Structure 1
Amino acid sequence: MRALFASFALVALSACGLQPMYAGGGNGAVARGLSAVEVPAIPGRAGWLVRNELVDRFGAASDAAARYRLDVRLDDQLEGLGILGDDTVSRERRTLRARYQLVDIASGEILLDATAGSDAGIDVVSSEYAVIAAEQTALENLSREVADRIVTRVALRLREGTTRAGE
């Protein structure tokens, strides 16, 4: 009975149309496309962090010539949320939003125009140093998360383009 169920599950799974994102490993179409993405400088500390994360994930340090450019604009906000009776802030929220466009360098066509974002809560304590350290750590974590979301969307778009070309 279990063998019958397992074989049925395998048949159903193969019929669902799922395909591996990075088929072919580093030589696959998506991996080659990602390594051909150029990320220009992004202003500010958050921009520097996000750009470094993107370059690391795209593998842009390889010898591949840039075919695409990823233009990113960031909005980094830090706001007080919890206000105590004496008008001091007890909780902050850091929000990092990115608007990005994937541009085909040869044609100038915008292949992807999207947004990504994330936020984090920060406890405000009596130590100013601890609060500043928590704000910086939150920015570093948000930069990684936003970069991950951007890379995933770009990879999906590049895979979609290779699937269309292969049809």
Structure 2
Amino acid sequence: MMTRLILPLLLLAPLTACGLHPLYAGGAGGGVAQTLAAVDVAPIQGKSGWLMANALRDRLAASGTPRYRLDVKLDDSIAGLGVRRDDSVTRERRTLRARYQLVDLSDGAVMLDATAGSDAGIDVIASSEYATIAAENTALERLSGIVADQIVAKLALYARRRQPAR
């Protein structure tokens, strides 16, 4: 009976030193949040760029004088997937890929160079071109948010790694 109690406790002991730390420790005053608030998003071309820049600015909540600039280049494409016998498309895939660089404004050095991306399926409504266009636009809005989340998460991890160990 006693070994049944002691054995699980012995197995749990190594977990106390696993090294997990909260990413946003310290809240808005923490190092990661302050680093993210010091990132300025450079203008991005096109409608998808406008959506992406707004999504990034919402998530980064920049304030004060920027120390970094985020340069983003987007690749937005739509490809037909499902095809009927009459060669009309029934399903599309919208893909949004971003290559981004975090640039230190003090010396122009590229601190982080990475990519992010996602895709979404769209049903093509043969009887309503408006419905298809609306679905494509909705997919682009969703994809912009998803890719922006990926970028901000990678920036936060980068900022956390640059923090001095405690």
TM-score (norm 2): 0.91
Give the structure 2 partner of residue 153 of structure 1. 154
- 1:159 and 1:2, CA in 2 relative to 1: closer, same or farther beyond 3 A? same
The equivalent position to 1:25 in structure 2, one of 3, 24, 27, is 27
AA aligned to 2:29 is N
Structure 1 residues 136, 6: CA separation in 2 closer, same or farther (over 3 Å shift)? farther
C-alpha distance in 2 between matches for 1:40 and 1:27: 24
Show the counterpart of 1:49.
51
Secondary structure of 1:96's aligned partner: strand
Secondary structure of the structure 2 residue equivalent to 1:41: coil
Counterparts of 1:1-167 in structure 2, within 5 Å, are 5=8, 8-9=11-12, 11-60=13-62, 62=63, 64-125=64-125, 126-163=127-164, 166=165
CA displacement at 1:5 relative to structure 2:
3.5
CA distance, structure 2, for counterparts of residue 17 and residue 120 of structure 1: 36
The residue matched to 2:80 in structure 1 has which SS? strand
SS of the aligned residue for 1:121 comes to strand
Q: Could you report, residue by residue, the CA deviation over 1:16-69 in whole angstroms, capped at 9, with x for unpaired residues?
A: 111110000000000000000000110011101111011011111x2x210000
Look up the equivalent residue of 1:141 and give its one-letter code: R
Percentage of pairs with the same residue: 59
Aligned CA distance change for structure 1 residues 7 and 84 (closer, same or farther; 3 Å): same
* Structure 1 residue matching 2:163: 3-state secondary structure: helix
Whole-Å Cα distance in 2 between the matches of residues 7 and 140 of structure 1?
50
CA drift of 1:14 comes to 2.6
AA aligned to 1:49 is L
Distance 2:8 2:124 in 1: 54
Aligned equivalents of 2:69, 2:121: Cα separation in 1: 32
Question: Is there any run of 5+ residues in structure 2 with no aligned partner, and where?
Answer: none
Letter in 2 for 1:48: W
Q: Which moved more, 1:116-125 or 1:126-135?
A: 126-135
For 2:75, give the aligned amino acid: D
Look up the equivalent residue of 1:103 and give its one-letter code.
V
Structure 1 gap ranges (5+): none
Deviation at 1:3, TM superposition (A): 8.8
